Each structure stands twice: as C-alpha cells, then as structure tokens.
C-alpha cells in the first residue's frame, strides 16, 4: 500500500469506528402527552416522542396483552415526532412507549406513558375537611367519594396529570393526604374513580377544588400588600419616633425632668399604635 492509501485507509477506519461508537450510544427517547395524559372520552391528544435531529424514523407502541404492538410510524428527519389520537376511547387508552431509529440502529425504548380516558362512569365528588388556603409545610387532606357505586381505585389529578392513586378494596371513597405542601402544590385538583381491572378507563372528573399554598396566611392580596407596605414603613416610623424623642429630649430643659416623661410616653404610645395597626391584619386567620 502506498503511504497515501494507508492514510486514507486509516481515515475510513477511524470514521467507521466513530459512527459505530455513536451508533451504540443513542440517547433515551422522551415521551409526553399534551395537553396531558388524562383525556376525556372522544377528545384528542398528542403524543410527542423526542429523539435527536438525526433520527429519521419514530415508532409508537402500545402495550396490549403483555406485549407491545406498533401503533404508528413516522418517517422523516426530525427531533420530535408527533402522534395524534383524534378520539380517545377505551382502545386508545393504555400504556405507550416509543423509540427512534438513527443510522443503523434503534434507540432503546422510552419510559412508559400511561394515557387514561375519562368519562366512562359518573363523576365522584372531591371534598376536604380542612382549609384550601394553606401555608407551606402543612398537610392537606382530600376525600374522593362516589355516590352510588363501589370502586377499588381513586385517583387525584392536578391539571390533567394524575398525581396520586388510592387503593380500596371496593369502597365509596379514597382519602388523599397532600404534603407537606410547598408553593408548587397550588392549583386545580379533580379526582376520578376506576376499577383495577381497567386501569386506563376512569370516571368523569369530580368538580374541581382549588388549592392555594401561600407564604402569608392572608388570602386577600390587597390586604397582604398593604401589610407588606406597612411592615416596610415600620422601621421609618420607629426612626422618626426615636428622632422625635431625641429632639424633644434636647428641647426640654434638664431641670424639668418630670415633664419630659409624659412627653416621651406619649410618643411611645404613638409607636405602639402604629405597631398594632401594622400587625393586626397579619395575625388574623
Ligand atoms: C454516550 O455518549 C455520551 C456523550 O456523547 C456520554 O456522556 C455517555 O457516557 C455515553 N453513554 C454510554 C452508555 O456509552
Ligand atoms: C366526538 O367528537 C367529534 C368532534 O371531535 C364530534 O363531531 C362527534 O360528534 C363526537 N362524538 C360523540 C359520540 O360525541
Ligand atoms: C388477548 O389475549 C387473549 C387470549 O390470550 C385474546 O382472547 C384477546 O383477544 C387478546 N386481546 C387483545 C386486545 O389482543
Ligand atoms: C404532615 O404529615 C407528615 C407525615 O406524612 C407528618 O410527619 C407531619 O408532621 C405532618 N405535618 C403537619 C403540619 O401536620
Ligand atoms: C415541592 O415538593 C415537591 C414534592 O415534595 C418537590 O418535588 C418539589 O421540588 C418542591 N418544590 C419546591 C419549589 O420546593
């Protein structure tokens, strides 16, 4: 082999190895559903499968009878493939996964996405025996109850995503404890009832409950802002009072010490009034 050919040979070999190395190391695809994974019957949902820009084929699969079956394929270079289910029903509900093809191999499978269809049974009701406006760190207890029929599963969902499930051995309600809560627990909650034998087929949603997690105990934001402003102004008031005291102290001749005291206690009184005014709304709950 001429030196030049050798170089070329190694270059090709090197490139080949590089391709092979990339090939055996494809990132795990992502899978998600929009607007969410809990979809009312007959409504549409999009399933997004995320790969790399070099992926040229995407495949969506659904779990049925313990094996995954191909639902749909999308051909064409794209970083994310979009699969649309136009009408959700009991057949399109289930456990999905996807994968993509790049160069000569398939990626591994994505995590599973559980798509639920709702509205197949009457709605349960969602209630709380506590407050719906709470402070971070508190626990919130919610009860999902069905009026007539017994179910063995209840699920709590927040903005179309299932957050918690409760197992019951045939019962009319399931209890959920949220917490200790933080600000991200704020939102609209609904609940559903279902049977363990058909895990992706749920009742209609309960009426919604809105949970508010807030740093301050006050629900009224106008009052809250006023309090904040009051608190911010407080040091200024204190400063003014101190200055006033000082000034008065200088004004009053030293010999008339007895007269100085009432003056001072009067301005202190004023301070206390300010304090009480500033603090009263904050301690109410
Ligand atoms: C895949 O490649 C990335 C960098 O491209 C590297 O960080 C990662 O460790 C590799 N994974 C495996 C399993 O080789
Ligand atoms: C399902 O939804 C479509 C609109 O997306 C509507 O035309 C159709 O009537 C609905 N079917 C039923 C049975 O409600
Ligand atoms: C699942 O398998 C059973 C028998 O093994 C069969 O009767 C049934 O039709 C299958 N269901 C689906 C959805 O393929
Ligand atoms: C909230 O519940 C946890 C247990 O889940 C408990 O340890 C904690 O004390 C509870 N907090 C409050 C404020 O009740
Ligand atoms: C709130 O709590 C959840 C679950 O305990 C946690 O995953 C999340 O990171 C927390 N968020 C914030 C903003 O602290």
Separation between Cα atoms, residue 6 and residue 92, nearest integer Å: 57
What pLDDT is stored for residue 137 in this prediction?
Answer: 94
Separation between Cα atoms, residue 45 and residue 66, nearest integer Å: 24
* Least reliable range by pLDDT among 4-8, 40-44, 106-110, 181-185: 4-8
CB 191, CB 142: distance < 8 Å: yes
Tokens of 68: 């995954």
Residue closest via CA to ligand 5's atom 8 equals: 184
Separation between Cα atoms, residue 188 and residue 156, nearest integer Å: 11
**Could you identify the residue written with the tokens 């170089």?**
7
Q: How crowded is residue 182: how many other Cβ atoms within 10 Å of its Cβ?
A: 10
Is the Cβ atom of 150 under 6 angstroms away from ligand 2? no
What distances in angstroms separate CA 221 from CA 132, 134, 214, 282, one per listed residue?
Answer: 16, 14, 11, 12
What pLDDT is stored for residue 282 in this prediction?
Answer: 39
Phi, psi of 75 (to 5 degrees): -105, 145
DSSP-derived 3-state class of residue 15: helix
236 contacts: CB under 8 Å, gap ≥ 6? none
* Least reliable range by pLDDT among 20-34, 140-154, 201-215, 227-241: 227-241
The total number of residues shown for the chain amounts to: 285
For the segment 46-60, what is each residue's pLDDT rounded down to a tens digit? 999 999 999 999 999
Residue closest via CA to ligand 2's atom 1 equals: 42
For the segment 139-170, what is each residue's pLDDT rounded down to a tens digit? 999 999 998 888 989 999 998 777 888 777 77
Is the Cβ atom of 64 under 6 angstroms away from ligand 3? yes
What pLDDT is stored for residue 15 in this prediction?
Answer: 46
Indicate the DSSP class of residue 183. G
Query: Which residues are 95's β-sheet partners?
Result: 114
What pLDDT is stored for residue 248 in this prediction?
Answer: 58
Is the Cβ atom of 130 under 6 angstroms away from ligand 3? no
**Could you identify the residue written with the tokens 């608190």?**
231
Is the Cβ atom of 139 under 6 angstroms away from ligand 5? no
Mutation pick for ligand 5 pocket among 184, 185, 186 (CB with most ligand atoms within 8 Å): 184
Residue closest via CA to ligand 2's atom 14 equals: 42
């Amino acid at each position: 082999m001429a030196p030049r050919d050798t170089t070329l040979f190694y270059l090709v070999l090197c490139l080949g190895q590089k391709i092979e190395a990339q090939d055996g190391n494809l990132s795990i695809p992502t899978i998600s559903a929009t607007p969410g994974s809990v979809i009312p019957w007959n409504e549409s949902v999009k399933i997004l499968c995320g790969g790399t820009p070099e992926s040229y084929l995407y495949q969506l699969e659904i779990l049925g009878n313990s094996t995954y079956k191909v639902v749909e394929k999308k051909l064409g270079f794209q970083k994310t493939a979009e699969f649309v289910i136009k009408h959700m029903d009991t057949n399109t509900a289930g456990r999905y996964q996807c994968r993509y093809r790049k160069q000569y191999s398939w990626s591994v499978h994505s995590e599973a996405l559980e798509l639920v269809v709702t509205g197949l049974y009457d709605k349960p009701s969602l209630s709380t025996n506590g407050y719906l406006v709470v402070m971070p760190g508190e626990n919130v207890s919610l009860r999902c109850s069905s009026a007539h029929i017994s179910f063995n599963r209840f699920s709590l969902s927040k903005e179309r995503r299932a957050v918690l499930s409760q197992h019951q051995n045939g019962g009319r309600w399931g209890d959920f404890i949220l917490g200790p809560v933080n600000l991200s627990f704020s939102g609209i909650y609904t609940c559903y009832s279902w049977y363990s034998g058909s895990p992706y087929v749920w009742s209609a949603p309960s009426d919604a409950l809105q949970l508010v997690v807030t740093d301050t105990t006050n629900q009224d934001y106008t009052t809250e802002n006023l309090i904040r402003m009051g608190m911010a102004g407080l040091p200024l008031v204190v400063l003014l009072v101190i200055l006033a005291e000082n000034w008065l102290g200088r004004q009053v001749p030293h010999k008339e010490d007895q007269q100085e005291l009432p003056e001072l206690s009067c301005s202190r009184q004023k301070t206390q009034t300010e304090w009480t005014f500033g603090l009263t709304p904050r301690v109410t709950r």
